[in-house]
């Protein structure tokens, strides 16, 4: 059985460590990127089943990253979860409009983060244009 792969994109090394450990404990395979450009390259080389994206990233920001991930054929319908400390309704709306399926606001406890990922992976595949919190 192949493990579901989660791509965690965040410039905060501590968040990536916490996310990685929590996801590994639940049996997921985890790949990481610290910026948007590396995330795009990683997603193309190792297509994930779900992408967790921070909004405030060096280089390509999280909203632009959502849009670019949706242009990758293998990720067109993969869930994208935005996890950010930026509580700006316009930015969060933009993220949802450009491809994110849901968002969580930091600080976030690991069990809530993993639960949201499990729910997104269990949901029916997204259709072009669908969004939601």
Q: Domain coordinates of the chain in residue numbers?
A: 5-122
Q: How many residues does the chain have?
A: 133
Question: Residue 23 — pLDDT band, cuts 50, 70, 90?
Answer: very high
| Helix, strand or coil, per DSSP, at residue 44 | helix
Q: What is the pTM of this model?
A: 0.93
> Could you give the residue ranges of the DSSP H alpha helices within 12-105?
13-25, 36-45, 62-70, 89-97
| CATH 3.40.50.2300 corresponds to the domain 5-122 | yes
* Residue 126, both tokens: 């997204």
Q: What angle do CA 43, 47, 50 make, to 5 degrees?
A: 90
pLDDT (0 to 100) of residue 16: 98
Range from 51-65, 78-92, 93-107, 118-132 carrying the lowest mean pLDDT: 118-132
Proportion of the chain above pLDDT 70, given as a percent: 94
pLDDT (0 to 100) of residue 87: 95
| Helix, strand or coil, per DSSP, at residue 31 | strand
């Amino acid at each position: 059985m192949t493990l579901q792969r989660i791509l965690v994109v965040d410039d905060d090394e501590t968040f990536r460590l916490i996310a990685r450990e929590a996801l590994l404990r639940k049996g997921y395979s985890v790949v990481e990127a610290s910026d948007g450009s590396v995330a795009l390259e990683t997603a193309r080389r190792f297509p994930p089943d779900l992408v967790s994206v921070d909004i405030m990233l060096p280089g390509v920001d999280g909203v632009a990253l959502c849009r670019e991930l949706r242009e990758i054929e293998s990720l067109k319908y993969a869930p994208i979860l935005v996890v950010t400390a930026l509580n700006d309704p316009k930015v969060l709306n933009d993220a949802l409009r450009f491809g994110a399926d849901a968002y969580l606001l930091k600080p976030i406890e690991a069990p809530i983060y993993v639960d949201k990922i499990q729910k997104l992976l269990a949901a029916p595949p997204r259709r072009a244009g669908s969004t939601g919190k």
